[in-house]
Amino acid sequence: MLIATLAPFVLGKSPAARSAAGHGSTFPADFVWGAATSSYQIEGAVDVDGRGKSIWDVFCHSPGRIKNGDTGDVACDHYHRWREDVALLARGSFGAYRFSTAWPRILPAGSGAIEHRGLDFYDRLVDALVAQRIAPWLCLYHWDLPQALQQQGGWLNRDTCRHFADYAQIVARRLGDRVKHWATFNEANVHALFGHGIGTHAPGLTGRSNMLAAMHHQNLAHGLAVAALRAERSDLRLGTIINLQPARPSSQSDEDRRAAERFDAVWNGACLDPLTKGGYPAAIAAEFASLIADGDLAAMRQPIDYLGLNYYSPMYIAQAPQSLFGAWFGAVPAGTPFTAMGWPIDAAGLTEELIRLRERHGDLDIYITENGACFDDLAAADGSVRDEERIAYLRSHLVAAGRTLHAGVRLRGYFVWSLLDNFEWAEGYSRRFGVVRVDFDTQRRTPKSSFAYLAGPARSGL
Ligand code: IFM
């Protein structure tokens, strides 16, 4: 039994043993091994302790938006079960935990009155992590905008940027003594495209101009928040998290090649180039012109300490005249394996992306802040989950990531997505990414084989 043979790796490991786990592997001893989650996907307790509504509460309760009518109302009930989840992190020997704070828990109306019970929750969580010597990595925005701000235009309204910076400062004032790693946004590009371009995510807006406005205002909000965080404390490591994927043409045709280049500029460039280079990619810069006010470009380009890369797969892009940028996901080469999300499995794409990041954006410290896979896990009669496909996926991607160290990429850590099976946005609970199984009827947590794999063999390069 895999679980039985790996048990020594996961049970009762001391913090010292944890930090030494990198010896003898591809990765250095100080490499950060972490697990990631996000507020709306796990917390539940949406009406508890004064939390305001988020755009995802409203979206989920609009009929037909989410598969099976699922909502994040309960999710993994992490708001009540956080002690158990911290214990799982310790049992898995994770040295870091990436989570997000829910803006509407802290500022129910998005700005103005602070809900201290919301801050208290994260304060307790952070204390428990620190007590276990698990470094808290906090992300300020994982898509759950306060609905009150959406009613004022959300990311289409420049004022939201200022409110975001205020929120960042409030959270840092309370937690900055113990939380040293901060990310402003999770995947601003995904939030802009799916939430504001094609409307399959909250807030369900559509159209090219909405999407571009959401991108620009998130970029600006990032810059203002970085400045606010630096003003609050000088000892924080600040960055942002973005989903990057090589954009490959779906065929050899010139049309598909041009479509892939265009999509690359939108997806991989529009939410990153302004932060590191001070401007939008040439291929789409003109489209942003009317959104840029005096001082915006300078405000967005704040020095950052690290970049968080979320990588799952490459994209195969085809010309698609009816789509937002005349480009959309097309045919994938025959024989390519897929995850249960229908995403192509291609670990070489991670090597490519890491190398390209260095070429395009310079010598930044990089952390893989999400990588993982969704498969239709089956629990055995005894409740165990032997998710060998996920282990194979993780292993191949760790090998692919490790290769870039020799090329001089400053890759400093790896966070698996996700610690827990959770609410997978428009797919509801039908898709499982966790290394810990969650039975959503009972809330029982069961570590899968991949949990044991990550706690031991992964770190020694097996
Ligand atoms: O679940 C999401 C997460 O919220 C953002 N990155 C991709 C994951 C898998 O779809």
Q: According to the model, what pLDDT value does residue 131 have?
A: 98
Q: How far apart are CA 136 and CA 169, in angstroms?
A: 17
Count of CB atoms within 10 A of residue 130's CB? 14
The residue behind tokens 């989920």 is 60
- Ligand 1 site, CB within 6 A: 38, 41, 187, 310, 370, 417, 424, 433
Domain 3-460, CATH class in plain words: alpha beta
Q: What is the CA radius of gyration of the chain?
A: 21
DSSP-based helix, strand, coil % in the chain, nearest 5:
45, 15, 40
Name, in order, each residue with C-beta under 8 angstroms of 50's C-beta and a sequence gap of 6 or more.
105, 108, 115, 117, 118
d(CA 242, ligand 1 centre) in Å: 11
Average confidence (pLDDT) per 10 residues, the chain, 462 residues = 32 37 70 98 98 99 98 99 98 98 99 98 99 98 99 98 99 98 98 98 98 98 98 98 98 98 98 98 98 98 98 98 96 98 98 97 97 96 96 97 95 98 98 98 98 95 78
* Cα-to-centroid distance, 142 and ligand 1 (Å): 9
Q: Are 127 and 89 in contact (CB under 8 A)?
A: no
Going from the Cα of 424 to the center of ligand 1, the distance in angstroms, rounded, reads: 7
Q: For position 2, what pLDDT does the model report?
A: 33
For residue 433, give the ligand 1 atom closest to its CA: 9
Domain boundaries, the chain: 3-460
pLDDT value of position 20 = 35
pLDDT of amino acid 462 = 78
Atom of ligand 1 nearest to the CA of 374: 9
Please tell me the residue having the least CA distance from ligand 1 atom 9.
424
pTM above 0.85, yes or no: yes
The residue to mutate among 39, 417, 418, 420, having the most atoms of ligand 1 within 8 angstroms of its beta carbon, is 417
Tell me the CA end-to-end span of the chain in Å, nearest whole number. Answer: 17
* Top mutation candidate among 433, 435, 438 for ligand 1, by most atoms within 8 Å of CB: 433
- Residue 448 has a pLDDT of 98
Distance of CA 441 from the midpoint of ligand 1 (Å): 22
User: Using an 8 Å Cβ cutoff, are 83 and 117 in contact?
Assistant: no
Which residues form the catalytic set? 187, 370
Question: Hey, whose CA ends up nearest to atom 1 of ligand 1?
Answer: 424
CA of 155 from ligand 1 middle (Å) equals: 20
The reported pLDDT for the residue numbered 264 is 98
Give the pair of three-digit tokens for residue 303. Answer: 């020095």
